[in-house]
Amino acid sequence: MLSVVALFVAAAAVLRPSVRDVSMRSMEIEDLEALEAEFLRGGRHMPPRLGSECGSYRWTQDATHIHVTVPLPSRPPHSDVSLVVAPTEFGVEVIFPTREFEGVRGALGGAVDTTKTKWHVEDDPFQGPRVRAAIRKERDHEMWRVFLVGEEHAPTVQFAGTCRVTGARFKQHRHTFDLEFDLPADVVEDPDRLRVDVTPTSFLVDIPDDPTWLPRRAQLRGRVVPEDTVWLVDPPTRTLDLALRKTTAVTWWPGLADEGFF
């Protein structure tokens, strides 16, 4: 049986002029997920030479840089964020930390040029607020196996954003997920037309008598307590506000819904 590495190299050779073309170019985590699904079916980890998701952060690399993304619960002023790259250590802290974000810190998995780090805070409409950093490697073409020593592969938390499956805007808290859906004006005036169904692993928002409304349904990335669901229609904003209570508090989900579920 071919090894995982052999399968990856064989597939990459078909789709790219060389394996080096795949590993050396700068890649977003979405690209890595596509490669993982295509080359490493069965839930195996992506090749460490490309990058990884590590719970509180994710990283990718090219020939010269490590690219790191750290999700945040909310967007703080740039002056409230501290990012430190030392010869052997990396850290991201918020001056006024919340209980949701405890910072990221650890020993680097390789040598860096500490004078050439670039970073910024951004608010992505789908991924939510986050810190993004480009860290210059000390030696070009050296492919790191880990970004931080001792890191473990785990889906990266997403505190806020927009669900690509349902279009819902959401914010994740320690105990709940708060969702917001835009509604037609006539439904805002007659909320009894709404159908809201919640199971431990999914939800549905529908307007059965409106043929133009596409049902908003999704498979959740965690479990909730259906009987604790709270929802209301807010006329001023013309939105449905839906609060889902997590079965297990202080567990951070990598987003709201499974985007492969329809």
Q: What is the pLDDT along the chain (262 residues), one digit of tens a residue?
A: 444 334 333 433 333 322 333 333 444 555 555 554 544 444 444 454 589 999 999 999 999 999 999 999 988 888 899 999 999 999 999 886 667 788 999 999 999 999 999 999 999 988 899 999 999 999 999 999 999 999 999 999 999 999 989 999 999 999 999 999 999 999 999 999 999 999 999 999 999 999 999 999 999 999 999 999 999 999 999 999 999 999 998 889 999 998 754 3
CA 145 and chain centroid, separation: 21
Element (H, E) at 206: strand 202-206
pTM (two decimals): 0.74
CA 140 and chain centroid, separation: 28
Walk me through the domains of the chain, giving residue ranges and CATH numbers: 48-157 (2.60.40.790), 163-245 (2.60.40.790)
Question: Tokens at residue 109, please?
Answer: 């998995």
